[in-house]
Amino acid sequence: MRVIDSHLHLWDPELLRYTWLEGPLAGRFSEVELEQARLNAASEEKAVFVQAECEEEQFLEEVAWVQSLSEVLGVTAIVAGARLDRGTDTTTHLEGLAAHPLVVGVRHILQGEPDGLAVSAAFITGAREVAARGWTFDACIRASQLPEIARLAGAIPELPIVLDHLGKPAVGTADAPLPPTPEWVRDLDELARHPNTFCKLSGLPAEAGGDWTPGQFEPFLDVAADAFGVERLMWGSDWPVSAIGPAEPGDLDALQDGSAAYQPTARSRWLDDVTAWARTRGHDIDAILWANADGFYRGADATDAERPPRRGIRGWLRGE
Kindly tell me if the per-residue pLDDT of 303 is higher than 70: no
Amino acid letter, residue 199:
C
Kindly tell me if the per-residue pLDDT of 136 is higher than 90: yes
Mark residue 167 as left, alpha or beta (left: phi above 0; alpha: psi -120 to 50; beta: remaining).
Answer: left
Q: Which domains does the chain have, with CATH numbers?
A: 2-317 (3.20.20.140)
Of 307, 278, 233, nearest in space to 4 by CA = 233
**Cβ atoms of residues 46 and 88 within 8 Å:** no
What pLDDT does 237 receive?
A: 98
Q: What is the mean pLDDT of residues 291-313?
A: 64
Kindly tell me if the per-residue pLDDT of 307 is higher than 60: no
275: CB partners within 8 A, 6+ apart = 1, 41, 285, 289
Work out the pLDDT band at 300, boundaries 50, 70, 90: low
Q: What is the mean pLDDT of residues 77-88?
A: 98
Mean pLDDT over all residues of the chain?
93
Mark residue 32 as left, alpha or beta (left: phi above 0; alpha: psi -120 to 50; beta: remaining).
Answer: alpha
What pLDDT does 316 receive?
A: 40
Of 54, 37, 31, nearest in space to 3 by CA = 37
More confident residue, 282 or 255: 282
> Using one digit for the tens of pLDDT, what is the confidence trace for 268-283?
999 999 999 999 999 9
Work out the pLDDT band at 304, boundaries 50, 70, 90: very low
What pLDDT does 97 receive?
A: 98
- pTM for this structure? 0.93
What percentage of the chain reaches a pLDDT higher than 90?
89
Q: What is the mean pLDDT of residues 163-167?
A: 98
Q: What is the mean pLDDT of residues 298-307?
A: 54
Kindly tell me if the per-residue pLDDT of 288 is higher than 60: yes
> Strand pairing partners for 262?
244
Kindly tell me if the per-residue pLDDT of 293 is higher than 60: yes
DSSP 114-174: PTTGGGSHHHHHHHHHHHHTT-EEEE---GGGHHHHHHHHHH-TTS-EEEGGGG----B-S
> Using one digit for the tens of pLDDT, what is the confidence trace for 31-50?
999 999 999 999 999 999 99
